[in-house]
Structure 1
Amino acid sequence: MTEIKLYKSKKRAISMMLLCSIFVLGGIWLLQKNSILGWSGIGFFGLAYPLGIYNLLDTKPIIIINEIGIYDRSTSSDFINWELILDAYPINISGQKFICLIIDEKYKPSRKKGKLYKNVAKLNEAIGAQELNIHLGQIQKIDEIKLTQFILQMSKADKNTKTELIKMLPEIS
């Protein structure tokens, strides 16, 4: 089975650690004047180092696309089948790119969850997103418009066409 795998960007992990290093150095400088504020800055921005190292060493794909559907490691524990996707659209929330998937009401994950999860799903829809959103923020360079168009093509294609579409995937970066 042909699969497309999208991985975390190593460049983003390194840039996050370098950017936070500036604030850690600022916290070290603040230790002389205000130790509480200095240690707070060092502690908060120092958390970028273990997180960055984890992102650098993480070799598992975040998103897998194949003939069955889309698997997003950050969203669900199962594949989202193509037949369930009615529509998709890109959205940008505070500089973070997402692809929102519109699925049939009877297959929404909140149907099996509690009241808190249902309220969070309603909040997502209030800001223009959906219950199932694919987060593209940590992925290497990717064109969310092309990926959205590809998802729409795959959701409307038959089984034989899906195999051909994945083999001839347009460059999405």
Structure 2
Amino acid sequence: MTEPIIIPKNKLGNLFYAVMSFLFVFFGFFMCLIPDILIQFIGVITILFFGLCFITFLKRIVNKTPILLINDLGVYDHSTAIAIGFIPWQDIEAIQLTSLFNQTFISISVKDQQSYLKKMTVLQRLTTKANLKMGYPLINITLNTTGQKPEKVMEEIERQFGGYY
């Protein structure tokens, strides 16, 4: 049995993002008080988007599930609000690093994309299809709030689990 790779959440990083999201919600509220319809509209969009971000980061602070767990069974992805969850090794075609907007992801290509798309919520499906249209794999794992470098984690994945996929 291979030693699992566990990437825990960084509560301090999530707290920082939650506070920043709350500040943007607060800022959006004041934008709604300005008597200009365009600025009010932007304020509402700001409140909705960063309100959702705030809730997401609060959940991540409370939830003890690691962002990423890789073991003999497969990959457990809980890195984002649209993460898929469990991906068994037999479904994985490839794992590689990809970059998008100066951010590096651990990307997973699966053998049957349609079965995973069917499991997703509408929001997950829309976001994922946009990624697919840009040429990115179905699953993209971010380690932003963990303090871990994707390159190092990828090296460890290849070293310990390279024969699984």
- TM-score category by the smaller chain? 0.5 to 0.7
Query: How does the TM-score come out when normalised to structure 2?
Result: 0.64
1:90 deviation in Å? 0.9
Q: For 1:59, which of 54, 59, 64 is the aligned residue?
A: 64
CA gap of 1:20–1:35, structure 2 versus 1, over 3 A, is farther
Task: Give the number of the structure whose alpha-carbon radius of gyration is greater.
Answer: 1
1:78 and 2:80 are equivalent in the alignment: no
Q: Determine which of 144, 148, 151 is the counterpart of 2:157.
A: 151
Note if 1:108 corresponds to 2:112.
yes
Percent of pairs with identical residues: 18
The answer to whether the Cα contact below 8 Å between 1:13 and 1:52 also exists between their aligned partners in 2 is yes
Query: Could you list the per-position Cα deviations for residues 2-50 of structure 1 after superposition, in whole angstroms to 9, with x for gaps in the alignment?
Result: 4332233323322223323443443454455338728626733444443
Q: Deviations over 1:118-150 (max 9, x none)?
A: 99877544423223x241245401111122233
SS at match of 1:149: helix
Q: Which residue of 2 aligns with 1:166?
A: none
Asked if 2 retains the 8 angstrom alpha-carbon contact of 1:4 and 1:65, the reply is yes
Q: How many residues align?
A: 152
Distance of aligned partners of 1:110 and 1:31 in 2 relative to their CA distance in 1, 3 Å threshold: closer
Counterpart of 1:43 (choices 33, 44, 47) is 47
Q: What amino acid sits opposite 1:72 in the alignment?
A: D
Amino acid at match of 2:15: I
Contact persistence 2:106–2:154 (CA under 8 A): yes
1:96 and 1:137 in contact (8 A); partners too: no
Amino acid at match of 1:53: L
- Please say if residues 23 and 41 of structure 1, whose CA atoms lie closer than 8 Å, have aligned partners that are also in contact: no
2-structure distance, mates of 1:50, 1:118: 21
Are the structure 2 counterparts of residues 26 and 3 from structure 1 closer, same or farther at C-alpha, using a change threshold of 3 Å? same
Shift of 1:57: 0.6
Point out where structure 1 has 5 or more consecutive residues left out of the alignment: 159-173
The secondary structure found in structure 1 opposite 2:66 is coil
Letter in 1 for 2:44: S
Name structure 2 gaps, 5 residues minimum: none
